[in-house]
Structure 1
Amino acid sequence: MVAAGILIVAGVTTYTVVSTTLANQHITVSDDAEHFAGQKVNQPWEAYAQANVIAKHASDMAGGKTYAELPRDDPNRNSVMNASFLQASLFTSVVAFGVAALAVGLGVVFFLIAMALNRLSRRDVVAAAT
């Protein structure tokens, strides 16, 4: 039961911290995003949508090439590099949200298992007493 509580509290806390940290960055999903256009980025789906828009913009700017494929003297190379870093940061927050949700889910599962084991052990004690 203690492990379940720790997982649930840690997961909720992590989710809240990541959400608050993203909100404090005042990022807004670009107007040309497929989903969530104009919304503030503070949830995993919004971070994912903005990361995809950044990837599209960088790809358009680089003519479909990645940062590593661009020549060193390409004037867009620094912008594409920054886009790559921003995209990676947003995807990292999406992963953090997922890990937080996983922790909460595992906490709930552990709690339910503990409750079931507790109930089974009580039945064994009652059966042994009779």
Structure 2
Amino acid sequence: MPIGLAPTVRSKFEHHKIDEAALDGAPMFDLPFNPGVQIRGYSAINQPNCQIIIEDFMPGTEFDWTFVHDEMQYCISGEMEVEVSLPPLYMETTKAHITPGTVFSYPVGARKHVKVIGDAPFRHLCFCPPSPDYPFPTLEQLKGS
């Protein structure tokens, strides 16, 4: 190892096939900082460079969230309306109607207000670089392995 360089934990190749049945049966848990809001999901990949989470927000759910990292998402199914306010003063806001097949991103510090519409959960992939190591169960944990 060269002198003066700190070792860096490296990510490795990993792949994952989404298990929708496992997600449908995943336990609900409270969304932090949002009393009474329940979500479900699992961590599909969690490497130093990125945590990838498959997540459901339930029909009729409405909540606020502030991002402590950049995050990209992809809507698999369901619909939501989102209003995003951007730092530093949160005066710049954008509204969007997110439907299946939509890719969208939140910059670090963004605040969002979400309203899930329709009768189906809002199912999406979250790409969180670098990994925040959110405490979602893994697929293996959901299946009891």
For normalisation by structure 2, the TM-score amounts to 0.22
Higher helix content, 1 or 2:
1
For normalisation by structure 1, the TM-score amounts to 0.23
- Greater relative contact order, per chain length (Cα 8 Å cut-off, separation 6+): 1
Higher strand content, 1 or 2:
2
